[in-house]
Amino acid sequence: MKLCSVFGIHRSSYKYWKRRPKTISSRETQIRALVQEAHNVSNGSAGARTIASIVTNSGISLSRYRATKVMKIMGLASRQLPKHKYKKQPLEHIEIPNHLDRQFAVTAPNQVWVGDVTYVWTENRWAYLAIVLDLFSRKPIGWSMSFSPDSRLTTKALKMAYESRGKPTGVMFHSDQGSHYTSRKYRQTLWHHQIKQSLSRRGNCWDNSPMERFFRSLKTEWVPACGYRTLTEAWNSIVGYIIRYYSQVRPHQYNGGLTPNESERLYWETYKTVANFT
């Protein structure tokens, strides 16, 4: 133990180091493989919290802190960007009220949909992506993409949502005051499908924050920093994110750690059970 004194090492630390396992256990190997798989399926965007949820949902209990340690050992890191803030502008729209009024927690699917348009760099110019989100589970249910941010773009996404959800009635649709949502063509489409329109206050992104949060997740978790080479490449990548990763794999804090698909599945399962009972 004289060497411990010479190098300033506590004897208990030396004994712990000497008795440490020389090989990795089968369970540790399994956990590392699952962590690597979760990191890959998220396109390198998932942090320790998300990876811990994904691994735990697969049947192997993993804490956030253990996930952090494993990621450090394996040299894995999330590539998400830090949060940013928006300025509030309290100007009101006088024609179409803000019926939603930030009541983002809804109790069933197809009660409230929200929509917005964002931009993605591709083919050396901006392409535009319109999304319709169901507020109940935060699930994307309609989308379209083109080089023109017009009413045809947003109408196509709305029609996809309407058809894919079985042409529901009594839906409210909320968006910002962009011209692609306030045009006569778009409002006629809403009227034809008997969908009630709600608009955010002018310049106030917090009135549609779930939609803003989805676009932030898409851009920080999936879209390459340099954009895409072609519109087709962008479309295939983003649709893959929506259908496979975001809706089916990625746990959502709003859903209590469940994916949007699982959240809706449990709702309809409970709904049918109650309906049969009554």
Cα(86)–Cα(68) distance, rounded to whole angstroms?
30
Q: What is the pLDDT of residues 173-228, one digit of tens each?
A: 999 999 999 999 999 999 999 999 999 998 888 999 999 999 999 999 999 988 89
Q: What is the pLDDT of residues 129-183, one digit of tens each?
A: 999 999 999 999 999 999 999 999 999 999 999 999 999 999 999 999 999 999 9
- Would you say 86 and 215 are in contact if contact means Cβ atoms under 8 Å apart? no
Cα(115)–Cα(162) distance, rounded to whole angstroms?
13
pLDDT the model gives residue 91: 41
Asked if pLDDT for residue 86 goes beyond 50, the answer is no
Predicted structure pTM score:
0.73
Asked if pLDDT for residue 247 goes beyond 80, the answer is yes
- SS3 track for the chain: CHHHHHHCCCHHHHHHHHHCCCCCCHHHHHHHHHHHHHHHHCCCCCCHHHHHHHHHHCCCCCCHHHHHHHHHHHCCCCCCCCCCCCCCCCECCCCCCCCCCCCCCCCCCCCEEEEEEEEEEECCEEEEEEEEEECCCCEEEEEEEECCCCHHHHHHHHHHHHHHCCCCCCCEEEECCCHHHHCHHHHHHHHHCCCEEEECCECCHHHHHHHHHHHHHHHHHCCCCCCECCHHHHHHHHHHHHHHHHCCCCCCHHHCCCCHHHHHHHHHHHHHHHHHHC
